[in-house]
Structure 1
Amino acid sequence: MDFPYARLRRRPDVEAENLQAYDATDVLLVERGLSLGVDGHEIAVIGDEYGAITLALTAAGIDGIRVHQDLATGRRALALNAADLGLAGFEPHDLGAALLRGVRLVLLQLPKSLAELEEIADAVARWAAPDVVLVAGGRVKHMTLAQNEVLARRFGRVRAERAERKSRLVVAAEPLPVPAAPPFPVTQRHGDLVLAAHGGAFAGAKLDIGTRVLLEVLGLADPQLRRSAPEPGETGPQPPSGDGISGVLNEEPTEPAPVVVDLGCGTGALAASYALAHPAARVIATDRSAAAVASARATVAANGVADRVDVMHDDAASELPDASADLVLLNPPFHLGTSVHTGAATRLFEAAARILRPGGELLTVFNSSLGYRAELTRLVGPTEQLHRTPKFTVMRSVRR
């Protein structure tokens, strides 16, 4: 089969010369899937970043494939690529029983985290057909023996194949009995805050350092987590000042209720903490990762603020109206998949600028080495440093 992989695009995700919409692992998974002759209604594809696996199979005449993609950008890219190529014959699903019930073949692009792989392996063993075969693939440089060990906890037979085109397939079969309850989400308490996390959520149920620094600046960190004095090279946390956010941070309720957006919310630590401290605010948490969104929903429920926090699965707040937010909180990523690339942060800065009302404020925490101040000033408005440690910097930008 001669599928036009080169025609696939990553949009609406970041596009650049060093970023492409498929790799050799996709091709190997497609070749294996076609060779097994399984009916399309008994095939599930998981982790297909931009649709290369799903669309190559449908182009070969396989219909009824179920597909799960964690990222909203991947789901939209699949739809756009399918439209460009005139292809159909697949159904999107979240990770769960509807995706896997009765499935006899799972094609998986191995995820970065072992926790995410554990959740996927458990789901396949829990809901797929008893004779299911899981074919997982990855780039050799990113694969570890620990991935085989995770699979072996849910499958009686796990076999790694020889590397080909710098990629490798691992085949798992004979699913083992699973515990009564799924292993995710996991929870962890951080002072008064409870974090919940599914396998694919960044940092799991831990409170990542950047988020903790931003919570300190906002005055929302639990006293047990605060340090008594700055470390060498730090400036002490400075609360935002000026006209823009002073009303939002004020304990007195305002009319109308201020709108606060946790952009790229992850497990929802910022959204839940802000909602707990500011009952009058309307808080929106949004992330492009389905695992993060499921985690954030579990987090706000665990903290009793589910009625005050709206959690959305969305790419760069695309579903929020222009000039609708008073405050945006942002701890942006600096990786795209396994590539170091600042394009993801730029897209979120642009999104914050779009959804902030004039005079609204963006509080951003990022690795101090990245130096985003000029870009924030250009895209959002006047930007000042509120806090700096050797590792992290917090900036305040006012929407011009």
Structure 2
Amino acid sequence: MNRLTTSWGEYSLTRFPEDPRDALRAWDASDEYLLRHLAETDTDLSGAVAVVGDRWGALTTALAARRPAPRELTQISDSYLGRRASVENLARSGADPDAVRLLTTQDAPPERIDVLLVRVPKSLSLLEDQLHRLAPALHAGTVVVGTGMVKEIHTSTLRLFERILGPTRTSLAVKKARLIFCTPDPALARGSNPWPYRYELPADTATVAGRTVVNQAGIFCADRLDIGTRFFLQHLPKDLGRARVVDLGCGNGVVGLAVALAEPEAELVFADESYQAVASAEENFHAHAEEGRKAEFLVGDGTADLPDASVDLVLNNPPFHSHQATTDRTARRMFTDACRALRPGGELWVVGNRHLGYHVTLRRIFGSCELVASDPKFVVLRAVKQGGPKGG
């Protein structure tokens, strides 16, 4: 656990789930830069303050624990894990749990915002969507400040603020972080929000070929099918019968949808930590699955909400980035959680880049790993939980 030091106090902050072996902090120099700017400029924080994209709750915690606290403080996040971290960090700081309204990117935004603080997300599409959704709540006197590391803020980032909200400029870089200052123009003709986005799936994607799917902003490859998933769709397991199948880290749910269309008796669960992803998966499932077909849609920490030994098959295309950090930590957690949720004899099928070496991790967790398919870039791997025949 690390301590964030600000002009208003010190706060012990962690990511979620907390892992003593994880050296990554729950904040970075851009969070520190923004908080220092607010204190040094004596920004009026007494009104309605909204914090967007606060990755682990550092900004929200510091503002909620500040005295006096904002009259109305709202956090808007697409990340379940980020929201859980925020809840725990707020409790650890001693802040009033009712002092912050925690909204997801799928919730209706506040009607009025006096100070808008934006932690620039990795996804430009998510930033575009959120600025469009929040713009009606801003007024000419709204203070808008964005923050991010220099490598996260591009000309395209600034153009979005300029095009959707109003005149925009940036600060000097400090510790490789930068601030964005925007002056809202209520009369600006910003056009319509292009999100969610729809596209047609290519011809080599098995049972989902030619179908139109919807993607909410912010999910991986939001405007097209990523090539890893495309390869996975060509090598999915068959003849599943009444198996309970989890599309883990489902994104827009195309993998689970392909199983649902090919396997009329299979029971589907779509799980992701992104609210945008699960909303996309649910819409796509109901648009293309047989009328009356049911499935579960879980926003959460992987398979944490599923009982031990309760599923037969887990399908997974794990991310290898945690925000800006390249790491296999998320994949390892997904594999371990999948093993716990699988029945003895149940299977985890994984697609990943060849160079990531997932077979080593899978052998360590499951005891064995089989190569199902490969091409010059990707592999599909199969790991079986030891202990008995596959459940039906």
Q: Which moved more, 1:199-208 or 1:342-351?
A: 199-208
4+ runs deviating over 6 angstroms:
none
Aligned position for 1:232 = none
Instruction: State the percentage of identical aligned residues.
Output: 35
Give 1:21's aligned amino acid.
Answer: A
CA distance in 1 between counterparts of 2:359 and 2:366 reads 10
Aligned position for 1:365 = 351
> 1:194–1:302: 8 Å Cα contact kept in structure 2?
no
CA root-mean-square deviation: 2.0
CA distance in 1 between counterparts of 2:108 and 2:8 reads 31
Distance 1:79 1:22, change over 3 A: same
After superposition, the C-alpha distances for 1:161-196 in whole angstroms (9 at most, x for unaligned) are 2222321111222242454x6421101011333221
Q: Does structure 1 residue 49 correspond to structure 2 residue 55?
A: yes
State the shift of 1:13 in Å: 5.9
After superposition, the C-alpha distances for 1:102-131 in whole angstroms (9 at most, x for unaligned) are 112111110112111111111111344454
Structure 1 unpaired stretches of 5+: 219-239, 241-248
After superposition, the C-alpha distances for 1:173-226 in whole angstroms (9 at most, x for unaligned) are 2242454x64211010113332211221100131111111111012xxxxxxxx
SS of the aligned residue for 2:24 comes to coil
Alignment equivalent of 1:113, drawn from 119, 123, 126: 123
CA distance in 1 between counterparts of 2:286 and 2:93 reads 42
> 1:187–1:205: 8 Å Cα contact kept in structure 2?
yes
> 1:44–1:99: 8 Å Cα contact kept in structure 2?
no
Aligned position for 2:102 = 92
Distance 1:186 1:277, change over 3 A: same
Q: Which moved more, 1:169-178 or 1:379-388?
A: 169-178
After superposition, the C-alpha distances for 1:25-57 in whole angstroms (9 at most, x for unaligned) are 1122223445221325x1110111111101111
CA distance in 2 between counterparts of 1:100 and 1:13 reads 30
Give 1:11's aligned amino acid.
Answer: F
Alignment equivalent of 1:269, drawn from 219, 242, 254: 254
Alignment equivalent of 2:230, drawn from 188, 212, 222: 212
Q: Which moved more, 1:103-112 or 1:93-102?
A: 93-102
> 1:267–1:299: 8 Å Cα contact kept in structure 2?
yes
Distance 1:50 1:326, change over 3 A: same
> 2:139–2:185: 8 Å Cα contact kept in structure 1?
no
CA distance in 2 between counterparts of 1:350 and 1:128 reads 44
CA distance in 2 between counterparts of 1:152 and 1:196 reads 27
CA distance in 2 between counterparts of 1:327 and 1:211 reads 17
Structure 2 unpaired stretches of 5+: 1-6, 202-208, 387-392
CA distance in 2 between counterparts of 1:96 and 1:363 reads 30
Aligned position for 2:204 = none
Alignment equivalent of 1:324, drawn from 304, 307, 310: 310
Aligned position for 1:289 = 274
> 2:8–2:66: 8 Å Cα contact kept in structure 1?
no
CA distance in 2 between counterparts of 1:205 and 1:312 reads 23
Aligned position for 1:12 = 17
Aligned position for 2:319 = 333
TM-score by length of structure 1 reads 0.85
Aligned position for 1:30 = 35
> 2:13–2:58: 8 Å Cα contact kept in structure 1?
yes
Aligned position for 1:245 = none
Q: Which moved more, 1:326-335 or 1:370-379?
A: 370-379
SS of the aligned residue for 1:271 comes to helix
CA distance in 1 between counterparts of 2:133 and 2:140 reads 13
Aligned position for 2:390 = none
TM-score by length of structure 2 reads 0.87
After superposition, the C-alpha distances for 1:308-353 in whole angstroms (9 at most, x for unaligned) are 3322111122111111111100000111111111101000001110
Alignment equivalent of 2:284, drawn from 279, 295, 299: 299
CA distance in 1 between counterparts of 2:361 and 2:174 reads 42
Aligned position for 1:159 = 169
CA distance in 2 between counterparts of 1:187 and 1:131 reads 36
CA distance in 2 between counterparts of 1:118 and 1:126 reads 14
Aligned position for 2:146 = 136
Give 1:147's aligned amino acid.
Answer: T
SS of the aligned residue for 2:225 comes to coil
Alignment equivalent of 2:368, drawn from 356, 369, 382: 382
Give 2:368's aligned amino acid.
Answer: P
Q: Which has the higher contact order (CA 8 A, sep 6+)?
A: 1
Q: Does structure 1 residue 344 correspond to structure 2 residue 330?
A: yes
Q: Does structure 1 residue 353 correspond to structure 2 residue 332?
A: no
